[in-house]
Chains A and B, each alone.
Chain A
């Protein structure tokens, strides 16, 4: 079964840092573009970041550019999101998802909760 499992969320103070991880299984991780998304309380899903198969392309939403950094380790079948200078409006459930054809994403993980509060 193709599966993604996020971890690393938690409560952090404004200005703090957090590193999210996403463990992939059931498919050839190195063959796929991977993404991070988030959903803030009461809001819709939001694209956060994308990384190509060989890490030669990374893209970021304007809201996180310069603060977040995406990376991957194909040997460990893992995706990461380093989040620095966190703000209250970064509070959300963060999901990783695999990019498939037609600009669709599947599968998704169950998400990890990030709360930024003093």
Chain B
């Protein structure tokens, strides 16, 4: 069982927006602004999409955005595209280590 809770699946049509949640506690998500999101196409290397809750690394489209409220962080993908179909994993600093969610499979319908 993962430390952070993510919905197992999410979906949307091309062009729509989808938000994936990541719920933790005050000891991880709620206690630090060190939430990251990774996109993972099966068989490929996971890719950093968001760090420090809402910052985007160079090269990540601005369709991807992150936020946090209390113990829940969120990743929003706007203007869904076919290539966005992947697994998305959240992670958070937890005081002395890094914890992850179980991952969310995003399907573009």
Contacts and interface: CB of A to CB of B under 8 A. Distances in A.
Contacts of A110: 43-45
Contacts, number: 70
Contact of A47 (B32, B55, B97): B97
A84 to B, nearest CB: 22
B43 A102 contact: no
B45 A107 contact: yes
Contacts of A108: 38, 45-48
Q: How large is the interface on A (under 10, 10 to 19, 20 to 34, 35 or more residues)?
A: 20 to 34
B36 interface: yes
In this complex, the member of A59, A101, A104, A105 whose beta carbon has the largest number of chain B beta carbons within 10 angstroms is A104
A45 B40 CA distance: 11
A100 B55 CA distance: 13
Contact of B36 (A43, A61, A104): A104
Contacts of B57: 106
Contacts of A44: 2, 4, 6, 89, 100-103
Nearest to A107: B45
Interface string B26-59: 0000001010101000011111100110010100
B52 A102 contact: yes
Contacts of B89: 44-45
Contact of A103 (B2, B45, B93): B93
Contacts of B101: 44
Interface in A52-107: 59, 61, 95, 97, 100-107
15 contacts: A44-B4, A44-B6, A44-B102, A45-B100, A95-B45, A97-B46, A101-B51, A103-B34, A103-B92, A103-B98, A104-B48, A105-B36, A106-B47, A107-B48, A110-B43
> Can you list the 9 inter-chain pairs with the closest CB atoms, starting with the nearest?
A104-B51, A106-B48, A102-B52, A44-B102, A44-B2, A103-B34, A103-B93, A45-B100, A104-B36
